[in-house]
């Protein structure tokens, strides 16, 4: 087994010409190509064929996070624009679900474009029926803490962003927003507001594909992982040990864990839609490990660190871990879990829940490519070369794959 800490990111490079990056979505979501990889063999399909290709009795797991309009363009009195990009909430709530329902004022960790133009004081942004102000509190690790206040004060922060924010498209698209992006950079099942990037593997699903999945007897389930801007963070360290993985917030219901446990106990396949769903499912196992070892773990310590999965011994089975989580929830008299995860899934990782993956094609030298390699080994090169040779479209608005090792 390889040691993921010693992996060199330069070993996860492939040539990605700019013209192969899909700058816009296809007219129809489900007309994307679908590369089908199974046990070393590759075949070309259309996304509408996914239900036919999934193993019998699969539980397909979706991330129902919704991208918020997290880019705010404030105008200075002199006319210059300062862009504030909301990354994650700090106070009064650090929990995304609560922070989105906050009224009157809040503080977020943000990136600030043209910060040098913002000498001091408050910035103002007027929107239909109201105004929001921004004020810098502090600077830390390349981010700023920005306090926002708005009128009317009874609006939630989610409503304010909806009225005056802009959707944060991935930086590599390198283009302005179009009206289409408001719908096409969301999955059709997006429900829980809080992501700053879409779980893009889900962008191919349509009501028609969902109906076919149901007709085929494929079960579905939903979890929420709010995708952070760190998903686009390039790996700059030579070896992975020196790369700091971003943390993302995760929400799971008791009903979801019961459904997953039933699937696992019957030894039926669990396939996530997207790398965020995969990270969530595998993190769920490790959260179970934590509470199996520490049944009285405080709820605010439900966090999986970057290397926890590689450093822990005496491991319970997946069913035991999920049962431990259900017992933990019963002890705390709660029907949902809020946790965070920095898990890095890289070659050397042993999968506990997932047996395959529906995903798009990822950037060279990215942690997402490491995850794909953890699942299908060095065959990721074969898959990506096939996609390159057969005119597949890459990255967020690009084509899809079903990977079954």
Residue with tokens 């396949």: 269
The pLDDT score that the predictor gives to residue 140 is 83
For 63-99, the three-class secondary structure string (H helix, E strand, C coil) is ECEEECCCEEEEECCCCCEEEEEEEEEEECCCCHHHH
Cα 304 → chain centroid: 15
Residue partners of 48: CB distance under 8 A and separation at least 6: 30, 31, 208, 209, 212
The pLDDT score that the predictor gives to residue 340 is 96
Neighbours of 333 (CB within 10 A): 6
How far, CA to CA in Å, does 288 sit from each of 19, 56, 129, 167, 348? 44, 27, 47, 35, 21
Categorise residue 38: left if φ over 0, alpha if ψ from -120 to 50, beta otherwise: beta
> Which residue from 117, 109, 111, 4 is spatially nearest to 343, judged by alpha carbons?
4
Contact between 210 and 204 (Cβ < 8 Å): no
> Which residue from 66, 80, 183, 182 is spatially nearest to 123, judged by alpha carbons?
80
pLDDT tens digits in sequence order for the chain, 405 residues long:
578 999 999 999 999 999 999 999 999 999 999 999 999 999 999 999 999 999 999 999 999 999 999 999 998 877 788 999 999 999 999 999 999 999 999 999 999 988 887 888 899 999 999 999 999 998 888 889 999 999 999 999 999 999 999 999 998 898 999 999 999 999 999 999 999 999 999 999 999 999 999 999 999 999 999 998 777 777 889 999 999 998 899 999 999 999 999 999 999 999 999 999 999 999 999 999 999 999 999 999 999 999 999 998 889 999 999 999 999 999 999 999 999 999 999 999 999 999 999 999 999 999 999 999 999 999 999 999 999 999 999 999 999 999 999
The pLDDT score that the predictor gives to residue 93 is 92
The pLDDT score that the predictor gives to residue 142 is 80
d(CA 120, CA 116): 10
Report residue 293 as tokens. Answer: 């070892």
d(CA 394, CA 144): 32
The pLDDT score that the predictor gives to residue 159 is 95
């Amino acid at each position: 087994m390889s040691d993921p800490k010693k992996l060199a990111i330069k070993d996860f490079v492939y040539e990605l010409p700019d013209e192969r990056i899909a700058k816009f979505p296809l007219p129809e979501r489900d007309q994307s190509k679908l590369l089908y990889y199974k046990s070393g063999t590759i075949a070309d399909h259309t996304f509408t064929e996914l239900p036919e290709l999934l193993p019998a009795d699969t539980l397909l797991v979706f991330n129902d996070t919704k991208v918020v309009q997290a880019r705010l363009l404030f105008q200075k009195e002199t006319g210059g624009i300062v862009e504030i990009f909301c990354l994650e909430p700090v106070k009064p709530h650090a929990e995304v679900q609560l922070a989105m329902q906050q009224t009157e004022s809040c503080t977020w960790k943000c990136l600030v474009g043209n910060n040098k133009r913002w000498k001091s004081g408050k910035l103002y942004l007027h929107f239909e029926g109201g105004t929001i102000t921004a004020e810098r509190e502090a600077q830390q690790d390349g981010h700023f803490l920005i306090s926002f206040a708005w009128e009317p004060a009874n609006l939630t922060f989610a409503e304010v962003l909806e009225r005056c924010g802009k959707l944060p498209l991935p930086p590599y698209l390198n283009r302005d927003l179009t009206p289409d992006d408001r719908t096409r950079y969301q999955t059709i099942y997006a429900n829980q507001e809080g992501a700053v990037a879409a779980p893009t593997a889900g962008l191919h699903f349509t009501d028609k594909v969902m109906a076919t999945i149901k007709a085929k007897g494929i079960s579905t389930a939903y979890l929420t992982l709010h995708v952070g801007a760190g998903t686009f963070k390039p790996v700059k360290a030579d070896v992975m040990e020196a790369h700091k993985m971003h943390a993302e917030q995760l929400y799971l219901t008791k009903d979801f864990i019961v459904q997953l446990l039933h699937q696992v106990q019957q030894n039926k396949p669990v396939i996530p839609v997207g790398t965020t769903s995969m990270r969530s499912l595998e993190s769920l196992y490790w959260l179970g490990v934590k509470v199996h070892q520490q049944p009285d773990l405080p709820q605010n310590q439900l966090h999986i660190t970057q290397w926890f999965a590689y450093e822990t011994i005496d491991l319970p089975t997946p069913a035991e871990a999920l049962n431990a989580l259900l017992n933990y929830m019963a002890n705390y008299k709660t029907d949902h879990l809020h946790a965070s995860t920095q898990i890095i899934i890289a070659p050397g990782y042993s999968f506990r829940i997932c047996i395959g993956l529906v995903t798009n094609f990822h950037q060279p030298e990215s942690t997402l490519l490491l995850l794909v390699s953890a699942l299908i080994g060095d065959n990721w090169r074969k898959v990506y070369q096939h996609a390159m040779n057969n005119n597949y479209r890459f990255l967020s608005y690009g084509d899809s794959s079903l990977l079954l090792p």
